[in-house]
Amino acid sequence: MNWPLFSVIYSIAATVTIGVFIVATLVTGFNEILHVQIAVALGILVSIPAGLFFTKKVGSITGNEEGYKV
């Protein structure tokens, strides 16, 4: 697996997913800090499979599935 690519894609996916979950949490009226923390934890967990999925897709498109080689 291409770990540098995964770290970039994961950081983007985690930011977007956490933002969506926080906005959904606040819009639905769960505005206590515990609810926001749960939304952040779920966003981090949900973005791991998304990061893996998109890393494999981008790696197969570019032909660099093996990872970073020095």
Token code pair at residue 63: 């032909």
For residue 69, tell me if it sits in a domain: no
Q: Spell out a b/e string for 31-69, using b for 16 or more CB atoms within 10 Å of the CB, else e.
A: eeeeebeebbeebeebbeebbeebbbebbeeeeeeeeee
* Range(s) of the domain holding residue 27: 3-58
pTM of the model: 0.83
Question: Tens of pLDDT along the chain (70 residues)?
Answer: 788 989 999 999 999 999 999 999 999 999 999 999 999 999 999 999 999 999 988 888 877 666 555 4
Total domains, the chain? 1
pLDDT of residue 2: 84
For residue 68, tell me if it sits in a domain: no
For residue 63, tell me if it sits in a domain: no
For residue 31, tell me if it sits in a domain: yes
